[in-house]
Amino acid sequence: MRDDLTLNLGLRYDVDNTILVGNDLVDARNDRYARDLAGARPLTKMKRDLNNVAPRLGFVWLPTEDRRWTVRGSAGIFYDQNHGNYNDVYLNQTLLADRRVLFNANSSTDNPFWPDRTAMRAFLAQNFPLFPNLSALGMIPQFVVALAPDFRIPYTIQGTLGLVRDLTTRLSVQADYVHSRGEDLVLARNMNVALVDGQFVTKDRRYTTFNVTENLGWSRYHGLQTRAEYRGDRVRVGASYTLAKATSNTLATGVSGTAATNPLDVSIDEGPTTEDRRHLLVIDGSYQLPYDFQASGIWRYYSPLPYSVSSRFVVFARPEPRNSRRGDNEYNLDLRVGKTFKLQVGMAASVFWQMFNVLNTDNVQAYQGSLESALFGRPARALPKRRQQFGFRFDF
């Protein structure tokens, strides 16, 4: 636009017809299921989602004559791509399945013997481990999955705004605020549950659950990302720090979604996301050695990830708020040394040695949240210990 202002404008439009897959099977299967459950037909043909208009905007502005200040920002709408993921579950678990049964001895909706847990456990112990003899139960309630007929492709609204300051020709600092707002995220609810006199009951005893996938999920991310960097003739050193917060009412990453803990109150799943790290600190650098050798390294600190507490005796509720507990910090140092061989014009070869987790730090994850587990509060896995590798690279 001007010598000190650059704009980047764009517009994207997506039509995702994969959500229509399975429509030809719906009418043929409807006679097997309730036609009127929770006031709506549970198996209904999907409609096209035709309003996925995604504008994009980016700008860079140099407000001062010395051009040492840079103001930059961007915003846009970004739609998910289904790739048949939602329909794959719908097809395989309902439309193409002859029968799908779910047992849970501690759930009033999934236990045919309820409230007798002992009888359910005895039945399972007798009829499994090989092949179950389900005839003793008579008509067994089924587990059904459906897609909401007005299902839409999830999307995020993202925006950034930041400053860069060149303190000298070699030293610069920068800071950016980053925000992401997820809408229409995937969340499944069991529409076969009602609350009667303070107790959860099954509305239609032909089914244990009738999970309907809907666009009831949301997510929010706020992050302040900062960095300082020095660039010399032979040395480059940088430090980055991020302060962030991520919340949602879904239990999975991004838009993949999951089932609501309480189908009548999805708010009890609101809390930090599984990926919520409040603090990230990264220090990185490289040094150009004689004879085209280069040494580089990166050290990272990650604050703990959250995890939730659960109990099989708590149905449609949570013993504690979602992701109310935290695991452990993570530290990691990686080093690399390499040499580049200059060949003819446009060609080069390099050999290198790398060491990961140089300090052999124990970084543990996936803490056990079940109150009934003997390993409650302990991690289930660890990231790799120290590793080394040699490599060869040819560029042309």
- The amino acid sitting at 48 is R
Tell me: the pLDDT tens digits for 154-188?
999 999 999 999 999 999 999 999 999 999 998 99
Which of 179, 163, 164, 155 has the alpha carbon at shortest distance from 75? 179
Predicted local confidence at residue 376, as pLDDT: 94
Residue 330 lies in a domain: no
* Whole-prediction pTM: 0.84
Residue 189 lies in a domain: no
**Could you count the other beta carbons within 10 Å of the beta carbon of residue 379?**
16
The pLDDT confidence band at residue 227, using thresholds 50, 70 and 90, is very high
Lowest mean pLDDT of 102-116, 157-171, 284-298, 306-320, name the range.
Answer: 102-116
Residue 125 lies in a domain: yes
Predicted local confidence at residue 313, as pLDDT: 84
Residue 109 lies in a domain: yes
Residue 113 lies in a domain: yes
Asked if residues 396 and 347 have their Cβ atoms less than 8 Å apart, the reply is yes
Tell me: the pLDDT tens digits for 106-129?
777 677 787 888 888 787 777 766
Domain count, the chain: 1
Predicted local confidence at residue 256, as pLDDT: 47
Residue 50 lies in a domain: no
- At residue 270, what are phi and psi to the nearest 5 degrees? -75, 135
Residue 59 lies in a domain: no
Predicted local confidence at residue 36, as pLDDT: 46
Q: Is the pLDDT assigned to residue 351 strictly greater than 60?
A: yes
Residue 122 lies in a domain: yes
Fill in the DSSP letter of residue 305: P
Asked if residues 78 and 22 have their Cβ atoms less than 8 Å apart, the reply is no
Distance CA 326, CA 278 (A): 11
Predicted local confidence at residue 255, as pLDDT: 42
Range of the domain at 119: 102-140
